[in-house]
Chains A and B, each alone.
Chain A
Amino acid sequence: MRVIRFLKGLLWLLIRLPKILYAGLLGLFGWLRAPRRERIVPERETTARAEWTVIVLLFAAAAAGLAFFVFYVVDIPSSTQFLGLALGVCLALIAAALVVAAKKLIPTEHLEESYPGEAREDEEQLLQVIHETPSGLTRRRLIASAGAAAGGALGLSLVAPAASLGPFLDTESLYATPWRAGRRLVDDRERPYLADEIVTGTFYTAYPQGADPEQLGSPIVVVRLDPSQLQLPEGRADWAPDGILAYSKICTHAGCAIGLYRNPLFPQAESKPALVCPCHYSTFDPAEGGTVIFGPAGRNLPQLPLEIDPQGGLRAAGSFSGPVGPSFWGVRTRGPSSS
């Protein structure tokens, strides 16, 4: 029995031998060929030193990042500097690690690529689609007009609410100032100015009593000059009682506050008194009704007529000689309204 079983086995093996051999050969051949899939990214030889540099840089960055965390949690003086240094150094170390990696570790290959060509065929087909679509229409023009009308009207209605942003048609508001005849001049703490305390050689900032000081028309600058030096324009003879003059403090060029008053200590040899704007150095002559003597301003500084009330207080005697603030298209040279 045993012999027969052995012979049977041998026969089985003999019959299948060619198949087994073939499979083995195929396997060997496959082993020789298959794993050699073509690389996409070329291999690159790296050095241990480069690798270690990147590793050290990244660990150092981690340390700096941790330092930021610690500086944030712990209260320290000059925290902005310490926090920023920690974070900045952390970022810089990461940047350095990446640059080293790019230069020494990452495979660099140079690839060729074609610039894109033209797609004439697609263009033609697109045009064809566009041209063929309306072929069934007979009133093309009318439809186009109707479409344009609908689109235009819709556009208009969508834009219209923008008008709520501001009173853009009413430019009259640009002429408004809180100054009117009889209004008292007060300082930034609402204390009224007396004519007697206004002396030559310095300048005062004044606001209208009881009005919002943050309005463009509010702040004025008050100076006193020798009445004999004044050469005010016609019709302003009584605007400067005792030589006290008031001008809008807002430059007619670009709206900055005229915070500079130059006043010569020795007038015979030095520049005459002037009001100057610190933005573009427009310079105005207070003795001549605020005329521009230097700088880009194109319009004289508006003058406010003054009067002295029986108690000696300073009050406006009317409104400004011209509109306050920077010029605009169509701005009239007439005086502004009082609001």
Chain B
Amino acid sequence: MRARKLLITVPALAMLAFAIVAYAQPPSGIVHPPNQESKTPLELGSELFAANCASCHGIDGRGVSPSIPVHGAGDIEGAGPDLTSAGAQAADFYLRTGRMPISHPGEEPERQRPFFSEREIGALTRYVASLGQGPPIPQPQPSSGNVSRGMELFTEHCAGCHQIVGEGGYVTNARVPVLQHASATQIAEAVRIGPYLMPSFPHSQINDRQLNSIIAYIETTKHPDDRGGLGIGHIGPVPEGIVAWLVAAIVLVGVCVLIGERARA
């Protein structure tokens, strides 16, 4: 029995150790300027930007190359892309999904609770948009899309990474996010931006009509047709195997124990 317990604990401990190493620390010291009501959005945005973003994206938003590191808040070696053509589209996406700020350049921005208030996000978005001629926040109309065509397009362009039902996945060196939490606008933004290691799909490849179809399909994956019963994650065999062993096998072994005799001394 002890041996079997060890069988379980050793891999579990190993995994835990990895988890601790891999777990990124949350960014320290988000600065929220005082007297926000008395400032114009652009003023507030520029203050927020200077305090929270400039160490990586440069004080003028022109980006910081890793070869000339700038030591910003928290003594982080800042580095980040040029934002002058990012526009409101990117600012809205990264801030609303809590993907920015990140604590280290090169780290994968992942979805979490936004670090800024609604007013702050609006202000920052407006400020970033003012840096150049970037694209505005897209306004997709998934209701006009065709789910079936969307599924085909999704299979061709997205399923390789995001999994066919949008349950996320893995691509070498990156964790691919689950799509169930993304709003239609956020999906449209991400398709055009190509955050982190995601490709950025131009209009020439996926036009707005096709994008609407893709989003319409993703909306259906949030509540897929589970006429078979519990969806158990919609990722196929892994959870199914877990059910086969942890439910069916255990129940049936239990029935065997009930019917048959227990070990006798």
Contact = CB atoms under 8 A, between A and B. Distances in A.
Which bracket fits the contact residues of A? Answer: 35 or more
Interface stretch (B31-39, B119-127, B199-207): B199-207
A199 interface: yes
A269 B258 CA distance: 60
Interface string B138-156: 0000000000000000001
Main SS of the interface on chain B? Answer: loop
B205 A197 contact: yes
B2 interface: no
B106 A269 contact: yes
A199 B202 contact: yes
Interface in B49-101: 65-67, 79-81
B193 interface: yes
Contacts of A205: 156
B69 to A, nearest CB: 11
Interface stretch (B3-11, B16-24, B169-177, B181-189): B169-177
Most A C-beta atoms less than 10 A away, residue of B81, B105, B159:
B81
Nearest to B174: A262
A270 B197 contact: yes
B195 A265 contact: yes
A261 interface: yes
Contact of B194 (A81, A201, A283): A201
A262 B201 contact: no
Contacts of B201: 202
Contacts of B169: 278
A248 to B, nearest CB: 15
Interface in A51-110: 78, 80-81, 84, 95, 99, 102
B172 A202 contact: no
Interface residues of B, number: 36
Contacts of A212: none
A159 to B, nearest CB: 36
A267 B232 CA distance: 37
B259 interface: yes
Contacts of A274: 172
Given A197-B204, A205-B156, A269-B66, A294 B229 contact: no
Interface in B96-136: 105-106
Contacts of B229: 80-81, 84
Given A266-B81, A268-B66, A268-B79, A281 B170 contact: yes
B227 interface: yes
B196 interface: yes
Contact of B171 (A81, A269, A276): A276
A78 B230 CA distance: 12
B165 interface: no
A270 B106 contact: yes
Nearest to B109: A265
A147 interface: no
Interface in A192-213: 197, 199, 201-205
Given A99-B259, A263-B194, A278-B160, A271 B172 contact: yes
Given A271-B172, A278-B169, A202 B159 contact: no
Given A102-B259, A271-B197, A276 B227 contact: no
Given A199-B204, A263-B198, A268-B79, 9 more contacts: A78-B227, A202-B194, A202-B205, A261-B199, A262-B172, A263-B199, A266-B81, A270-B106, A281-B172
9 contacts: A259-B156, A263-B194, A265-B200, A268-B65, A269-B106, A271-B172, A271-B173, A276-B171, A278-B169
